[in-house]
C-alpha cells in the first residue's frame, strides 16, 4: 500500500500525467487508456497471510488502496472446485461474489477510490455485471451512481441495478452507443467514471483472481488459465497478477492464457489468428454470451500483447457450444449465466491444448472461472 498522493495516472503513448484528483478517465490529448504509476506492489509473506480474513484485502501490500472497511462486502477468496468429469481442471466459482460476478473484485476498488477522492458521483456503463457491481459498491459507499446499459439488458440485471439505488439509463442501439453515452456523462466535473475498461484501479482488483489461485493451489499456478475475453478485465488482471507473482519470485513462469470469445463477436480472436496487433474491425452478430460481446475493446492491443507474451491463444466458441456447456454445468450443480459457460465450452470442445512438456501432477493443468451467476440472467432457451 502506497500513500494515495504518490499515485498518478499516466498515458504510455504521450507520457502525459494526471493527478488522481483530476478524475481523468482517458488521455485528454490522444484519448488513449491510462495506467497507474507510482505504485510498487509487494506480496505478503505466508506468515502474514495465514492470519488474515479470506477476502481480497488479504493482499493489502499488493493493492493500491487501503481496505475500505466501511465499503467492503467481504469480496474475494471464492471456491475452487474440480470440473465435472475432469480431475485435471478446476473451476473458480467467482459467481459467488457479493453481486454475483467477478466484477466485484474491481468495483470495490473503484468505490474506495471515489470515496478517497470525494467524488460526488460515479458513472458506469456495462451490459450488466460491471454495472451491478459498481452500483452495489457505490450504494455501500453512499455515493450517487448512474449506470448506462444497452436497451437489450435483461430485466433481472436492470432490477438489480435499480434495487441498489442506481439511476439506470437504457440506451437504444449498440453496446458502443451505451459506452458513448456514459463517456459523455463521465465528463461532468466531480464525476468518477467508474469504468471497468478505462480505470486501471479495476485491474488491480481483478488481479486478485490469480493471487487466490496461487494460494489455493499451494503456492503454484496452473499451466493454463482459461479466461473469457470481451474488454479483458479478467485477462489483463490475471496477467498483471501473474507478472507480480513472477517479479516477487513466487512463480517461475507466467501461466499461458487461453482466452475465449463468442464466434459471432470475435475482434480479438480474429486479430490474433491474423497476427495483428490491433483488434479486427468486425460487425457483431448476437450471441448467448452477451457478457463477452464487445466489438471494440478499448484495451484490445494490450490484451493481444498480453496473451502473446504468455504463449497463449484466443479461441472462439459457438452459441451451440455455450448452450450445451451451460446445461452441462447446471447438471453438475453449477448454475452460471450463459457467458459464464464460455470457458468450460472451450475446454469441453477440446480447444485448450494440453502442454507438451511434462507437468506437476499435483497441479491442475488448467483453471477456468465461472464468472457470473445464473440467477440474474435470462435462461438461454427462453
Ligand X SMILES: *Cc1c(COP(=O)(O)O)cnc(C)c1O
Please identify which residue in 5, 14, 277, 305 interacts with Zn ion, judged by CB under 5 A.
Answer: 14
CB of 34 to Zn ion, least distance (A): 8
Nearer to Zn ion by Cβ, of 18 and 39: the residue is 18
Among Zn ion, ligand X, none, residue 11 binds (CB under 5-8 Å by kind): Zn ion
CB of 36 to Zn ion, least distance (A): 15
- The span from the CA of 82 to the CA of 217, in Å, is 12
Q: Which helix H or strand E contains 67, and what residues bound it?
A: none
Q: What are the cell numbers at 219?
A: 503456492
- Is 101 a binder of ligand X (CB under 6 A)? yes
Among ligand X, Zn ion, none, residue 371 binds (CB under 5-8 Å by kind): ligand X
Do 157 and 148 touch, CB atoms closer than 8 A?
Answer: no
- The span from the CA of 180 to the CA of 232, in Å, is 19
Residues 203-232 that bind ligand X (CB under 6 A): 228-232
- Is 30 a binder of Zn ion (CB under 5 A)? yes
Helices then strands (H, E): number in the chain? 12, 13
- Is 234 a binder of ligand X (CB under 6 A)? yes
Partner residues linked to 167 by β-bridges: 146
Partner residues linked to 259 by β-bridges: 227, 314
Nearer to Zn ion by Cβ, of 34 and 110: the residue is 34
Residue window 105-134: x/- pattern of binding to ligand X, with contact defined by CB under 6 A: ------------------------xx----
Partner residues linked to 35 by β-bridges: 10
Nearest alpha carbon to residue 153 among 382, 376, 381: 376
Which residues have CB under 8 Å from 365's CB, separation 6+? 88, 89, 222, 223, 224, 354, 355, 359
Among ligand X, Zn ion, none, residue 171 binds (CB under 5-8 Å by kind): none
Residues 290-329 that bind ligand X (CB under 6 A): 291-292, 294
Binding site for ligand X (CB under 6 A): 101, 103, 129-130, 228-235, 291-292, 294, 337, 339-340, 371-372
Amino acid at each position: 500500500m502506497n500513500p494515495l498522493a504518490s499515485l498518478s495516472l499516466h498515458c504510455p503513448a504521450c507520457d502525459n500525467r494526471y493527478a488522481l484528483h483530476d478524475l481523468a478517465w482517458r488521455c485528454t490529448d490522444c484519448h488513449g487508456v491510462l495506467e497507474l504509476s507510482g505504485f510498487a506492489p509487494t506480496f505478503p509473506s505466508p506468515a502474514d497471510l495465514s492470519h488474515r480474513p479470506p477476502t481480497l484485502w488479504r493482499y493489502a501490500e499488493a493493492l493500491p488502496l487501503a481496505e475500505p472497511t466501511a465499503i467492503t462486502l467481504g469480496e474475494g477468496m471464492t471456491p475452487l472446485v474440480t470440473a465435472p468429469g475432469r480431475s485435471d481442471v478446476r473451476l473458480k466459482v467467482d459467481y459467488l461474489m457479493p453481486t454475483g460476478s467477478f466484477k466485484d473484485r474491481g468495483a470495490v476498488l473503484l468505490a474506495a477510490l471515489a470515496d478517497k477522492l470525494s467524488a460526488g458521483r460515479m458513472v458506469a456503463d456495462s451490459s450488466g455485471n460491471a454495472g451491478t457491481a459498481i452500483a452495489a459498491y457505490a450504494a455501500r459507499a453512499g455515493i450517487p451512481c448512474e449506470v448506462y446499459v444497452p436497451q437489450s439488458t435483461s430485466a433481472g440485471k436492470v432490477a438489480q441495478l435499480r434495487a441498489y439505488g442506481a439511476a439506470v439509463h437504457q440506451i437504444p442501439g449498440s453496446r458502443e452507443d451505451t459506452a458513448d453515452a456514459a463517456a459523455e456523462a463521465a465528463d461532468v466535473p466531480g464525476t468518477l467514471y467508474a469504468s471497468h475498461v478505462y480505470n486501471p484501479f479495476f485491474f488491480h482488483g481483478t488481479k486478485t483472481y490469480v493471487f487466490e489461485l496461487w494460494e489455493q493451489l499451494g503456492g503454484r499456478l496452473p499451466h493454463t488459465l482459461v479466461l473469457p475475453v470481451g474488454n479483458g478485465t479478467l485477462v489483463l488482471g490475471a496477467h498483471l497478477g501473474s507478472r507480480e507473482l513472477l517479479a516477487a519470485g513466487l512463480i517461475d513462469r507466467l501461466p499461458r492464457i487461453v482466452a475465449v470469445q463468442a464466434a459471432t463477436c470475435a475482434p480479438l480472436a480474429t486479430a490474433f489468428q491474423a497476427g495483428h496487433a490491433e483488434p479486427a474491425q468486425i460487425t457483431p452478430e448476437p450471441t448467448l454470451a452477451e457478457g463477452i460481446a464487445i466489438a471494440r475493446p478499448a484495451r484490445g492491443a494490450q490484451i493481444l500483447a498480453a496473451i502473446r507474451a504468455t504463449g497463449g491463444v484466443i479461441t472462439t466458441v459457438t452459441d451451440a457450444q455455450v448452450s450445451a456447456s451451460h446445461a452441462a454445468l447446471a447438471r453438475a450443480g453449477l448454475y452460471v449465466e450463459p457467458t459464464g459457460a464460455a470457458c468450460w465450452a472451450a475446454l469441453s470442445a477440446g480447444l485448450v491444448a494440453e502442454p507438451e512438456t511434462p507437468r506437476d501432477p499435483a497441479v491442475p493443468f488448467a483453471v477456468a472461472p465461472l464468472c457470473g451467476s445464473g440467477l440474474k440472467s435470462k435462461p438461454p432457451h427462453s
